[in-house]
Structure 1
Amino acid sequence: MYRTKTKARHSRGRVSWLIGLALLVAALGAVVAWQVITAPCIEAISPQAGAHTMHSTITLRVTIRGIQKLRDVRAHIDDQDVSASVTIDGDHVVIPGERLTDGQHTVAMAASTGNLYRRRLDRTWQFTVDTKPPSLTVKTPAKETVFTMTPITISGTAEAAATISVEDIEGSTVATPDGSYSLTVTPPDGKLTLTIQARDRAGNTSTIERRIVVDTTAPSLWVEAMGTVRTATPQLSVNVNDAACTPRLKVTVDGKPVYAKRKTGSRLVELGELAEGTHAIVLRAIDDVGHQETKSLTILVDSSETLGEATLMEGAVGKDVEQL
């Protein structure tokens, strides 16, 4: 009987000890988990590692989760201790960088924390200051080049890794490590000034202008339909346009030249004094590279109803013809 009671007491004691141990382990686990969850960590840096900036004075920011646990924040830019200038702004450690020279710079930030899991927080990274515009040359196209086909190729040299583009025209390319580039673009027809731009990784830009002519299409040509005219000296209403040049308009009547002038826009073309009857008129608008647009029409001159008042040709109509 006595032994049974003793065993029962020992058993209850062992169970209590195990329960206490389990509770202690659970409590320690909860503490560790909480320390891990709330451990300060760096979420972002600005400028980012490997970034390029065109500014010699820059504010560096380190975004930290759990920043309130930081202690004794220290910072260096290259070999200079700037800890005295470091401030805390919300979730950011703010490190001022003033009058930095062009080239690569190393930033180091370190701080102790009140967290058991992560007792120390530190980060080291590099960025580059570049305040100078990139080099840029344009080999092709040459000045005043006339293109009768598109697309065209722009080539030259620039700072390695610079982005090359043409203002207001789609397309870009990146200069190779040796600085060469070749960019294919499709400009519109016309007398153009291409603004070729190189933008380096820091955002600095250089530009070169090239004047070119793109003429891939014939001039537009419109002529008013006439049919029958009641005058022996008719005029044609014509409109000619071309984006790249002032086109030449040539007009023939029955194979005979009657008009040849350069002019853009609307005009009245005098056909001369024509005999009664039908006449074949051909108009040709020609640009500087030889593209041409042609229109043909036939008109009937019926300017008189009295025989002998006008010269009659094949196709003449009216009372004067009936008198023959």
Structure 2
Amino acid sequence: MDLADESPRGIAAYDTAGGRGMSVLNAMYYLFKPFLPQTVRYTMRRLRANYKLQTAKDWPIMLSAGEAPAGWPGWPDGKQFAVVLTHDVEGPVGLERCHQLAALELKHGFRSSFNLIPEGGYEVTPEFRKSLTDLGFEIGVHDLRHDGSLYRSKKSFDECSVAINGHLREWRAVGFRAGFMFHNLEWLKNLDIDYDASTFDTDPFEPQPDGAGTIFPFVVKGSTPEESYVELPYTLPQDVTLYLILRQQTNEIWCEKTDWLAERGGMVLANVHPDYVAFDGRKPTISEFDAALYEDFLCHIKEKHAGRYWNPLPREMSQYIAGMPAASPLATRAAAP
């Protein structure tokens, strides 16, 4: 991925001036991805990840990311840390499993958001969205088509942003996450959003591996209040990375990093894809992991950290951060030099 120079907040982004967008290598991969067998794709990603793992010094924990911003006021009601759960729904299988995942979370007293692809390989009906929001969950917009083309150029992004904003309005959604965690915090000002969740504290395995370097949300300021939004970086390794690529057999990394995030009073933000969760105790396929790993993780939070965490929906988190005084250091970051 071509990355621009680092901005003042330490987040590298696409070249917003030159519009370099996606590298040729990544563009070719996403062009041919639909024609590659799943086993080939996973093998390619596994080889790349194992290579990255040999040199990754700040994964899964980046110590410097745990420093709270100066003047950080803490979480509501004196809670020690926050837990934000999100889900990206990749295809029809994931759509079918959303309610099972929601039921699992409700069983343990958690709420989350489901990010749906507006023009992808499945239909998102008003009835489906309502069935989740009526249970207390949130709906977000996940890319536009999830084909890797959103950030191909500034012109492409501007054209797609018109359609994305239409879906945001139709769904009454306020949050966005790009496919493949591509991000450009300057271009995102085109979207009518309260928050974006396309970045991370540290993740060398992503195609655009530049990290936000913080376990706290922050405000990306625009030239007008309407252009400003809250950035919510995910702080736990993604399920795909752990279980499908690195082939982890336990949730130890999730639990250990959660404990570290709790100690530092940060934000635990997870992204679990229902597409890859094997429910009902059946043996997972090559592209799945056992739902028991996620449920045990939720139990770890609920039991070890009982009474010490705040579990807001992403929209509630963004409202809290955006509502901080203008002088707060969280509200002074810009998206570009």
Query: Which one has more relative contact order, counting CA pairs under 8 Å at least 6 apart?
Result: 2
> Whose Rg is larger?
1
Fold similarity call, TM over 0.5: no
Structure (1 or 2) with the greater strand fraction: 1
TM range (shorter): under 0.3
TM-score normalised according to structure 2 size:
0.16
